[in-house]
Amino acid sequence: MNARNLKYQFAALILLLFTLSTSRTAAQEPLPSAAPVDVEGKWTISAKNPEGSIDTKYVELKQSGNTITGHFKGPNQSGGLEGTVNNHHIVFRTKTREVLTFRGQVRGDTIEGTFHTRRGTGEFHAFREPATTNPT
- What does the H/E/C string look like for 39-51? CCEEEEEEEECCC
pTM over 0.75: no
Number of residues written out for the chain: 136
| Interval 96-124: pLDDT, tens | 999 999 999 999 999 999 999 999 999 99
Question: In b/e form, how buried is each residue of 11-39, taking b as 16+ CB within 10 angstroms?
Answer: eeeeeeeeeeeeeeeeeeeeeeeeebbeb
Separation of alpha carbons 21 and 18, rounded Å: 5
pLDDT at 9 (0 to 100): 74
Does 23 score more than 90 pLDDT? no
Percent of the chain with pLDDT over 70: 75
